[in-house]
Structure 1
Amino acid sequence: MKALTWHAKRDVRVESVPDPRIEEPTDAIIRVTSTAICGSDLHLYELLGPFLDRGDILGHETMGEVVEVGSGVRALNVGDRVVVPFNISCGTCWFCTHGLQSQCETTQVREYGSGAALFGYTKLYGQVPGGQAEFLRVPLADYNHIRIDDDLPDERWLFLSDILPTAWQGVEYAQTPPDGTVAVLGLGPVGQFVARIARSRGHRVLAVDPVPERREMAARHGIDVFDLGDDTVAELRDLTHGRGPDSVIDAVGLEAHGSPGIKAVQQAVGMLPDALAKPMLSHAGVDRLAALHAAVDLVRRGGTISLSGVYAGDADILPMKTMFDKQISLRMGQCNVKRWIDELVPLVQAPDDPLGVMDLVTHHAPLDEAPDLYGVFQRKDDGCIKVVLHPDRSDIPRT
């Protein structure tokens, strides 16, 4: 089959690789019909190479059709149409039954002290082949699927794999009061959904991003948008009676703009041999914290910061005096995808598309276009906000 494989920093390639096969009775194989490039994939493209091997298959936002099931699979049949959650969980352990599927005891990657295994996401999370490919092996398939029983287009359902439940969890964790105001930092794909979900709940939403096309998209959905500037925090505080918003959702994460010194450190570590870079990233890694520091500065006293953007540094320095003094609550974590699906499915299926899932993708393309589109997405060229690849269709034009 063809698959998108990692080879080095900013070097991903579509290559022929062996087809996946049933390895355990609980596995299923799906033919991938749609798979997206996620903002988290860009961390692999840029920073986390020491935890990847040449030829690793990337991708964790995937859906398609079941083509084979193991002898132990009971909930799926050949021909079923499914979305595959990005985290791999069992559904029966203590964490899964308590809605913490991202901490699944069955698939935890204990070698690295990490939570549940993820598709296409480095040794830190199990080095499981990802879904930017023509076929995908799904472990523990009875639990790790969301069955689609209608004929709505893939685009309507695909984002249940990651970014839609990630945004939902971010809003849940923000604990914004019913009549409250939430600020959203970053209007990439997750930030777009965060803003729409918060607004659908009746919150006032103030969203910040330096990219005009991202602000324009959010504004179409009734979001109050702001450019990123030196006075943005003061401007938003002035709009909230001088106190700051009740909650701030950081949808940016570890590669935030405005941290040139840390960016240089990250780049320097990335140039080291893997044997040296791995322990530095594991134990002394630092993130670009401009977005998180802005959230601490902005949120009102007694408010909540929710982190939807990925952070990976174990040596980050936080303004603990300010956080303690302001009595800030901080919530974060990998999304527990299956926990939120029952609430999200009716919204995705609703004819009026209340969360605007059909207004997010800016680029459709065949799988062969993936290497170029990684660069386009990273650079935010051509108004790129979200890329969906179609491995089963070589004839689809890039749009």
Structure 2
Amino acid sequence: MRALCWHGKGDIRYDTVPDPRIEDAEDCIVKVSSCAICGSDLHLMDGYIPFMERGDVLGHECMGEVVEVGKSANGLKVGDRVVVPFTITCGRCEQCRRGNYSVCENSNRNAALASKMFGHTTAGLFGYSHITGGYAGGQAEYVRVPFAANTVIKVPKTGMTDDQLLFLSDILPTGWQAAVHADIQPDDVVAVWGCGPVAQFCIKSAFILGAHTVIAIDRVPERLAMAREAGAITINFEEENVLERLKDLTGGRGPDKCIEAVGMESHAGLGSLEGALGLYDKAKATLFQETERPAALREAIYACRPGGIVSVPGVYGGMADKIPLGSMMNKGLTIRTGQTHVRRFAEDLLRRIEEGQIDPTFVITHRLHLSEGPEAYHTFRDKKDGCIKVVLSPN
């Protein structure tokens, strides 16, 4: 089959690779009808996530049709239309029973490696390095799904397009979880760092959950425009000092809730302190003395109103420096983060899509064939051609 594969920093190729096969009785094989490039895929492309190997198949947002089923994949059959969440979940460990699917105790086949890195293992993830299991991803014609019955989301065969359903795999529930973690109240001012695809769903979710005001922070005109269309007030961090502007917009109090939807490759904005720390982060990352550039996280902690919540869907992979722990502790902030527990929210979000409360298609700017994926990675990363979200089709 054909697939998008990682061959080193900045080197994504459209390769021929072996077809996946059933390896365990709980597996299924899905013929991919649609897949997407996620912002966190760019961390792989840019070399920030460790333990990638040349030839690894990329991608953790996909959906399609079940074409083969292991004998113990109960409840699944050939012909089922499914969305494949990025997290692989066994469904029976203590964490899965608690609904904490992204920290499944059984699905990461490289659990020992993850434990050395994080202190404990986390769930296996599709197409996201060998620290999360080394599973082949879904930017391919076919994908093998372990623990299939507990991992995939069955969706209607007709009446809904792939574009409406595909983002149940990651970015829609990720944005939703980030807003849920913020415990939004009716009079809350919510600030969202970033206006990429996940952040756009954070903004939508915050309004649905009752936020009074949402303020969105970015520097890309097309992304800021999309946030304004959703009803957010916007700040361009290259033109305004974010901390000062947030104080102006909140009467000096600061946002009640802050959502950091940027992650490890954030850029510093205006302001002498943040500019200096941004250069520090970049220098240390270049010298491999730090794996993150946490400018957005740092700013969210400083900005948040005392007693507030900082919710972090942005991806981090290793060690970060210059985190303002004093600000966090003395202001009594609550920090909530984590990979998304997709299955926890899937049924509710599917219902909201069916009822028209959420139309996830608004973020899509580019639809391309899978073979155009390598160029699309660069277009997305470099924010060229107004690119916000790329959907790929293998067919």
TM-score if structure 1 supplies the norm length?
Answer: 0.92
Look up the match of 1:374: 377
Letter of the structure 1 residue corresponding to residue 114 of structure 2: Y
Letter of the structure 1 residue corresponding to residue 153 of structure 2: I
Look up the match of 1:363: 366
- My pick for the range that moved more, 135-144 or 110-119, is 110-119
Alignment match of 1:249 (pick from 256, 259, 262) = 259
Look up the match of 1:121: 128
Letter of the structure 1 residue corresponding to residue 280 of structure 2: G
SS at match of 2:287: helix
Give the deviation of 1:224 after TM superposition: 1.6
Alignment match of 2:145 (pick from 138, 142, 163) = 138
Whether contact under 8 Å (1:286, 1:316) holds in the other structure is: no
Alignment match of 1:173 (pick from 181, 184, 188) = 181
Whether contact under 8 Å (2:26, 2:147) holds in the other structure is: yes
Look up the match of 1:17: 17
Give structure 1 stretches of 5+ with no counterpart. Answer: 270-283, 393-399
Partners of 2:391 and 2:3 lie apart in 1 by 14
Partners of 2:209 and 2:181 lie apart in 1 by 14
Look up the match of 2:343: 338
Letter of the structure 1 residue corresponding to residue 39 of structure 2: G
Q: Deviations over 1:153-193 (max 9, x none)?
A: 10100000001111111001112222211000001000000
Partners of 1:286 and 1:24 lie apart in 2 by 35
Alignment match of 1:223 (pick from 224, 227, 232) = 232
Q: Deviations over 1:249-303 (max 9, x none)?
A: 000011001223322332333xxxxxxxxxxxxxx64311110111011110110
Matches within 5 A, 1:1-399: 1-48=1-48, 50-108=50-108, 109-113=111-115, 114-149=121-156, 150-203=158-211, 204-229=213-238, 230-258=240-268, 259-269=278-288, 285-350=290-355, 352=356, 354-392=357-395
Partners of 1:265 and 1:214 lie apart in 2 by 29
Give the deviation of 1:49 after TM superposition: 6.2
Partners of 2:292 and 2:249 lie apart in 1 by 29
Give the deviation of 1:124 after TM superposition: 1.0
Whether contact under 8 Å (2:370, 2:394) holds in the other structure is: yes
Whether contact under 8 Å (1:9, 1:49) holds in the other structure is: no
Q: Deviations over 1:61-101 (max 9, x none)?
A: 01000111111122111111000010101111110011101
Partners of 1:110 and 1:345 lie apart in 2 by 35
Give the deviation of 1:123 after TM superposition: 1.1
Partners of 2:161 and 2:122 lie apart in 1 by 32
- My pick for the range that moved more, 99-108 or 249-258, is 99-108
Give the deviation of 1:315 after TM superposition: 4.5
Give the deviation of 1:50 after TM superposition: 4.4
Partners of 1:286 and 1:2 lie apart in 2 by 32
Q: Deviations over 1:108-131 (max 9, x none)?
A: 423221300100000110110000
Partners of 2:308 and 2:37 lie apart in 1 by 33
Letter of the structure 2 residue corresponding to residue 43 of structure 1: H
Partners of 2:292 and 2:23 lie apart in 1 by 37
Percent identity between the aligned chains? 46
Whether contact under 8 Å (2:185, 2:210) holds in the other structure is: no
Whether contact under 8 Å (1:177, 1:246) holds in the other structure is: no
Q: Structure 1 residues 232, 48: CA separation in 2 closer, same or farther (over 3 Å shift)?
A: closer
Q: Deviations over 1:203-239 (max 9, x none)?
A: 1111111000001111112222221144222112121
TM-score if structure 2 supplies the norm length?
Answer: 0.92
Partners of 2:98 and 2:139 lie apart in 1 by 30
Give the deviation of 1:2 after TM superposition: 0.2
Partners of 1:17 and 1:3 lie apart in 2 by 7
Partners of 1:285 and 1:105 lie apart in 2 by 28
Look up the match of 2:118: none
SS at match of 1:143: helix
Length, aligned pairs only:
376
Whether contact under 8 Å (2:65, 2:81) holds in the other structure is: yes
